[in-house]
Structure 1
Amino acid sequence: MEILYVSRLCSESRLARLMAEQPVKPPLQEQKFHGLLARGLAAFATGVTALSLLPPPPGKAGPRTEAETEEGIAYHYLALRPVPFLSHALVFAWSFLFCFRWCLARHDRPRFVVCDILDLSISAGARLASKLAGVPAVAIVTDIPDILHDYIGGASSPLGRAVVGAYRSLSTFLMHRYDAYVLLTEAMDPLVNPRRKPHLVMEGMVDPGMEQVANTLDGKFPERVVLYAGALYAKYGVGALLDAFLRVPLGDVRLWLYGSGELEGRIGDCAARDPRIRYWGVQPNREVVAAEVRATLLVNPRPSREAFTRFSFPSKNMEYMASGTPVLATPLPGMPPEYLDHVYTFQDESVAGMAEALTRLLNRPREELHRRGQGAKAFVLERKSNVTQAGRIHAFLEAMAPPA
């Protein structure tokens, strides 16, 4: 089997350079998810080719293409400055031409085009090319575009609203026209797959290399650190987390936040009022994971009552669990029941309820918390590694392949 993986995925070495040198950083959670999946698929497929966009280059350099190979994946990149409408057209054309040539090249094995549908320009070109060439295309759906735009907010000007509306309509139209789907939750299927094409639910995956990363009580930070890493938006519950932590009556605890988003200014204001709070900004994933391993408690306050949470399983929860540090999260509807034995959950998601849960857990014996974290780590490494999950996808694709 050969796979063309269409997304914004960079090789790990390229990602490290971009994080160190470039002002516009790639979204780390997106990179981690697609990187784990592509590398997992490379363990089963004969060849994996990644067709990817790079973040906009600095200066006034024109469009450029690059290629490299790492860990068995052949990466082909396009980098260009964002120009309204023109850059989208260039990405679409480049994606279409590359994918069409790839589909028509001589192959002696089944071929599949796998697309991150949230990146419309590059996935649309690849989908059209695969359709014309008769190669099955599989959608990776980590969010529903229509709901995602409602959730993060839209444009304020009439022209901006018209553009966003057209973008949403086109995203939905194309999303409905794939040959198969890999979804985070079963609840996604009726919305993204009205034609009842084959689908597989894969809520996330973890890096099996975390098995070699020791999480010990002796290695913890001296203070009791509560850590959040992710997008800093009120609708993700981060504002409520800040308010709740301010009510925690424990002097030797800390709240550390990593990431970027609309609440950066508010976090700075809270840190000025309460020195227990610290904002670390955007850091390389390896540094975030190292801090997660040494923390006391990892928290994800994403509200469970929002309609979109039926379609959500944050990949951050998987990373948290793989660290071996205990996790406190909301009981999201999209979280399968098997996870609930391995994480702590907020039973009351009000500010007062979250403050009470934080205080109660932080007062528990360190050994008890550590056991819960180690149990979660063993669970996800055994059942949810990227190789295990990619193996399920490989079997799913093999079942779709035409007979030899």
Structure 2
Amino acid sequence: MVKLIFLGGLFPNESRREIESKSTGVIQYAADALQWAIVTGLDNYYSQNFKLVNLPYIGSFPKRYSDLKTKTFKFSHIKGANDINVGFINLPIYKLYSRFYQAKKTLKKVIDNDNTIIIIYAIHTPFIKAAIDIKKNNPSVKICLIVPDLPEFMDDDKSFIRKYLKNIEKGLLNKYLKEIDSFVVLSDYMHLPLQINNRPWVRVEGIFEQKTDNIVLEKEPFKTILYTGTLAKRYGILNLLEAFSLIKNNDYRLWICGDGDAKEELELMAKEDSRIKYFGQLSREEVIKLQKKATVLVNPRISEGEFTKYSFPSKTMEYLASGTPCVLYRLQGIPEEYFDYCYMSEEETPLGLYKTIISVCEKEQSELNEFGEKAKRFILENKNPEIQCKKIYNMLSKFELNENTK
């Protein structure tokens, strides 16, 4: 029987509140949600032969996290599971070695079956190197890499030291990625820069895991536009602010929550315009409540920049599942089927976004409710953990069959 090990960086329920309280700046909520959805989906196919080896994706001590060392403890993602959260030293730069060493040491302990597949979440050099080292001593072990983002498009830090370290990491990754046996990518375009070639791969652009949907909230009396997510300038948040500034009607409101490099501009504009409310960084549960109360949800990310081709904005799926209509641009990384359930802004300018937002918000609420419900059904029926992870299971099953017939 195949044993599956998920090597990732999610937030166990036992330590979630602690991680939130000790973090400063951006918290990786989107990555955490996707990892948990993958785990939930794979449970349908691997059951008790599935183990988590977890080193949370958190900021470094002391600027972005208040602890120098993280804890090792056992936990169970479902009843009967024997998972382990692995502690490491959280110093900048050194944490990479510590995460590699601790991940490798733990993998050595837990792999007691040659017929093992290690699934790694994200292109994280310490995890990939640890799995490759294990594979060298256990040639029948296979590695599947989930690629939510490409490293060259993930970091806005342009400092000399950061560039130098990134160049070193890129050289190592080019070597390490050749050792990966199969891939799960979030965009069809990713297989080219990853040089997957003839190795098995499957596109799973995202997963929506429905925790609860019994929350019924009334819509706001004002026409309320909501953005939730990273406040990154490259994600178009300033375009949204400019688009809203064109709205002179006092019956409109703009709600924004998240953190990032556009925070200062947002706070300044919120002081000047009382219609704008900035909530800061909220939990997923709080965000979902706001999404249900809003009139329309907006993703202002434009197609400028090569990175848009290689990414699927996670908020797209979350927005659609909320039942509140969403407005976005036609990005290459979003599969065509999604555009039937969104209001599209064809003109990628603040003026174009303004026109689209106004045209949507001025529709009858009953029409918006019907449109939002269709989008919600599309996500819940087609993008849930069981359906999406079946694609991963089918790929790995064929892969296992090929190995067994050699």
| TM-score past 0.5 threshold | yes
Equivalent residue runs for 1:185-334 within 5 Å: 185-210=187-212, 212-213=213-214, 219-334=218-333
Query: Please, which of 132, 139, 157 is the counterpart of residue 145 of structure 2?
Result: 139
Residues 22, 352 of structure 1: alpha-carbon distance in 2 compared, 3 angstrom cutoff? closer
Classify the secondary structure of the residue corresponding to 1:235: helix
Asked if the contact 1:4–1:113 (Cα under 8 Å) also holds between the matched residues in 2, the reply is yes
Asked if the contact 2:22–2:67 (Cα under 8 Å) also holds between the matched residues in 1, the reply is no
Is 1:148 matched up with 2:154?
Answer: yes
Aligned-pair CA distance for 1:27: 0.7
Deviations 1:23-43 (A, max 9, x none): 577410010011111121112
Q: TM-score, normalised by structure 2?
A: 0.90
Distance 1:173 1:326 in 2: 44
Deviations 1:353-380 (A, max 9, x none): 1111111111111111111110000011
The runs of 4+ residues in structure 1 deviating greater than 6 Å are none
Instruction: Give the RMSD, CA atoms, in angstroms.
Output: 2.2
Structure 2, unaligned stretches of length 5 or more?
none
Residues 333, 161 of structure 1: alpha-carbon distance in 2 compared, 3 angstrom cutoff? closer
Classify the secondary structure of the residue corresponding to 1:67: strand
AA matched with 1:78: V
Aligned-pair CA distance for 1:13: 4.2
Structure 1 residues 327-336 or 59-68, which shifts more? 59-68
Residues 60, 295 of structure 1: alpha-carbon distance in 2 compared, 3 angstrom cutoff? closer
Distance 1:199 1:248 in 2: 45
Distance 1:99 1:8 in 2: 15
Asked if the contact 1:19–1:25 (Cα under 8 Å) also holds between the matched residues in 2, the reply is no
- Taking only the aligned residue pairs, the percentage that are identical comes to 23
The residue number in structure 2 matching 1:398 is: 397
The residue number in structure 2 matching 1:96 is: 104
Aligned-pair CA distance for 1:318: 0.5
Aligned-pair CA distance for 1:85: 3.9
AA matched with 1:174: Y
AA matched with 1:251: N
Structure 1 residues 342-351 or 194-203, which shifts more? 194-203
Equivalent residue runs for 1:8-87 within 5 Å: 8-20=9-21, 22-23=23-24, 26-46=27-47, 47-54=49-56, 55=58, 62=69, 64-72=71-79, 73-87=81-95
Structure 1, unaligned stretches of length 5 or more?
none
Distance 1:189 1:131 in 2: 25
Asked if the contact 1:3–1:111 (Cα under 8 Å) also holds between the matched residues in 2, the reply is yes
Aligned-pair CA distance for 1:383: 0.7
Distance 1:24 1:235 in 2: 17
The residue number in structure 1 matching 2:355 is: 356
Aligned residues: 394
Distance 1:335 1:85 in 2: 34
Distance 2:376 2:8 in 1: 28
Aligned-pair CA distance for 1:87: 2.4
Distance 2:186 2:68 in 1: 38
The residue number in structure 2 matching 1:6 is: 7
Structure 1 residues 135-144 or 58-67, which shifts more? 58-67
Deviations 1:50-85 (A, max 9, x none): 222233576665464222113245432233443344
Residues 60, 256 of structure 1: alpha-carbon distance in 2 compared, 3 angstrom cutoff? closer
